[in-house]
Amino acid sequence: MELAYYYDMAGNAVMKKILDQDFFKRLGPIVREARSVGFDKEGFLLYIKARDDLVEEARKLLKDTPARLLEGDEAESVINAFREEQESAEAGMGTLFG
């Protein structure tokens, strides 16, 4: 399962503390500046890809934080941007070691 969240610059310090918890360290979410992934806002995007039970736990832990769950077309375009980034990285590793 995949989820995408957005939080603004004001929420960055709080989110850094939350994402520094052991659960999130093991989960390995990806954080990028929103504009670097084509999102038209100042702030950060958080991408989570994991088993359904872990994603649900992350959703609970992020419920009362500055992070806002993205839904619909907005979520789809952000998730696709993260997927493309991962595929490009994997393709690059393939050419190095393939």
pLDDT recorded at residue 25: 95
Distances (CA, A) of 4 to 57, 92, 94: 14, 24, 27
CB contact at 8 A, 35 and 76: no
CA angle 70, 22, 5 (to 5 degrees): 5
pTM: predicted TM-score of the whole model, two decimal places? 0.86
- Long-range contacts of residues 88-92, Cβ cutoff 8 Å, at least 24 apart: none
- pLDDT digit string, tens, across residues 55-78: 999 999 999 999 999 999 999 999
- 44-49 vs 30-33, strand pairing mode: antiparallel
Q: What number is the average pLDDT over the span 67-95? A: 83
Instruction: Give the pLDDT confidence of 23-47 residue by residue, as tens digits.
Output: 999 999 999 999 988 888 899 999 9
